[in-house]
Amino acid sequence: MTSARRRRLFMVMSVVFASGVAVALTTYALRQHINLFFAPSQVLAGEAPVDRVIRVGGLVVPGSISRDQETLQVSFEIADNIAAIRVSYSGILPDLFREGQGIVARGTLGPDYHIQAQEVLARHDEEYMPPEVADALKRTSMAHDGY
């Protein structure tokens, strides 16, 4: 390699390295702000601001959904592995909403750790399978539970 090419190779590597460091430091400084939502355990640990619009994401706790028979009012709990918080929402829920589904609720956090949601989005996991396979999986897991 000639010295001119070597110098240019060094320049190219410096550009990539410098921009990498700059972006890494920026994203590290902004790490909580890049997260789309807080986990319920973060909310209960007091990391989420109160009386401001935030997003909270977790799995819908089975058996926690209570629907109003007259209106679209619905309330349910979402949880991560550590903690659960209650969400109230009035409106049409996404099709994927069900017990055990991951969801992201946008709303205001009240002082009692209760979220009054303005929007509820369903989160989809990365599993793809035909219905028969899903049924078979369900049956085997039930059979295991029976033992």
Name the residues that contact other proteins, by CB under 8 A. Answer: 1-2, 5, 8-9, 11-12, 15-16, 19-20, 23-24, 27, 31, 34-39, 57, 93-96, 104, 119-135
Separation between Cα atoms, residue 1 and residue 12, nearest integer Å:
15
Nearer CB in complex with other proteins: 12/72 = 12
Report which of 103, 111, 119 is spatially closest to residue 64, judged by C-alpha positions.
103
Nearer CB in complex with other proteins: 25/50 = 25
Q: Which residues contact 42 (CB under 8 A, 6 or more apart)?
A: 48
Q: Report in angstroms how near the CB of residue 18 gets to other proteins at its nearest.
A: 9
Q: How far apart are the first and last CA of the chain?
A: 70
Nearer CB in complex with other proteins: 6/67 = 6
